[in-house]
Amino acid sequence: MHSNPLPRLDEHPEICQQLRKLCRLRPGEIWTDPIRGHKVACMDAGDTPSIAALMGGDRAVLAIQDPPYNLVAFETRRLDEYIAWSQRWVSATLSATAPNCSLYVWLGADQRDHFQPLPDFMVMMRAFPVQARSFITVRNQRGYGTQKNWMAVRQELLYYVRGNPIFNVEAEYTDIPKTLRGYYKDVGGERTENLERSKAGTIRAGNVWIDIQQVFYRLEENVSGCYAQKPLKAIDRIIKASSKPGDLVIDFFAHSGTTLLAAEMAGRCCFTADIDPIFCEISIRRLEHYRRTGRTGWQNGHAFEHELQLGSLDDAGTESPINGSTTPTQISLL
């Protein structure tokens, strides 16, 4: 099969140099969607005046933030610097939200690099006027660290609220199966077990999600070049639980534009930002591509395939199972 993915952009500065020429936003600029009023901004999530410019007079009811947390993405910043930086973007986030709002933060640990900002982040959050409501675990299918450590197959998602925001999990149908046996009960003189008694084979969403496939190159929603893409299904679940149609959702770490696209699909409006013009451009193009084709990503291609051609590769073993790590053989601007 013909395959023309972008490799991981964090490992290919020479490709990023080419892509920058194709980006419509420069730092500080904001793109406004002419159709639904979404906005994409090239700015620092922790810069409150820039965020104020993005928001205008609007306030979001829901923020979904997925900051970089590993040392590779964050060079060699120390933990206390990371937390001080987190304080700035949380503060900017809260300045952009309505009095009754929900804040979700994806934050994990990098098992390989021994970087675990999660407890420090949770303690830091106590100084903000928000209430910690839940701590969700998303179980990945694939992991790493099987030889010398427990395989890392988990992602953490913190859920905070301010005031009394909407919470609508009842409307949610999931694919989360009943996995645990037990709860024996006598019914009609016979011993039955909960799996055979229950009518539904699935449960409503609790704070452990095991029904979401993480993004990898074979999925339609894959955006090659992106190395930290969240699944649409997870973002859709958050959006449906914590906002209603027409509401404004924010995400200041756009990357592949998952929140923007999920908001579009669920009839919400999204203001999103990324510090890197390339990820702003990818987010805008992903939205446009979806509107044009109905596709949620570029399974075998990429967002810049009309202008930038990578040496074509068939996928006979050249691609890594993890998001877009094929090595291109040649790069040229058309």
Ligand X SMILES: C[S@@+](CC[C@H](N)C(=O)[O-])C[C@H]1O[C@@H](n2cnc3c(N)ncnc32)[C@H](O)[C@@H]1O
Give the residues lining the site for ligand X (CB under 6 A): 44-46, 66, 68, 226, 228-230, 252-253, 255-256, 258, 273-276, 279
Q: Looking at residue 312, what DSSP letter applies?
A: P
Return the structure tokens found at 97: 């939200």
The sign of the dihedral angle between the CA atoms of 173, 67, 278, 284 is positive
Residue nearer to ligand X on the CB measure, 3 or 65 = 65
CA 114 to chain centre: 22
* Min separation Cβ 195 and ligand X, Å: 34
* Min separation Cβ 197 and ligand X, Å: 39
- How many residues in the chain? 334
Residue 75 CB partners (closer than 8 Å, separation 6+): none
Residue nearer to ligand X on the CB measure, 73 or 195 = 73
Residue nearer to ligand X on the CB measure, 108 or 143 = 108
* Min separation Cβ 257 and ligand X, Å: 7
Residue nearer to ligand X on the CB measure, 44 or 247 = 44
Residue 284: enclosing H or E segment and its boundaries? helix 277-293
* Min separation Cβ 12 and ligand X, Å: 14
Residue nearer to ligand X on the CB measure, 78 or 178 = 78
Residue nearer to ligand X on the CB measure, 44 or 264 = 44
* Min separation Cβ 294 and ligand X, Å: 20
Residue nearer to ligand X on the CB measure, 68 or 143 = 68
Residue nearer to ligand X on the CB measure, 247 or 274 = 274
Q: First and final CA of the chain: distance in angstroms?
A: 23
* Min separation Cβ 239 and ligand X, Å: 13
DSSP letters spanning 107-154: ---BTTTTB--HHHHHHHHTTSS-EEEEEEEEEEEEEE-TTTS--EEE
Do the Cβ atoms of 215 and 8 come closer than 8 Å? no
Q: Pick the closest to residue 282 from 261, 304, 251, 249 (CA basis).
A: 304
- Cα–Cα distance measured from residue 333 to residue 15, given in angstroms and rounded to the nearest whole number: 10
* Min separation Cβ 196 and ligand X, Å: 39
- Cα–Cα distance measured from residue 15 to residue 332, given in angstroms and rounded to the nearest whole number: 9
At residue 80, what is the residue type? D
* Min separation Cβ 26 and ligand X, Å: 15
Per the DSSP assignment, residues forming a β-bridge with 154 are 139
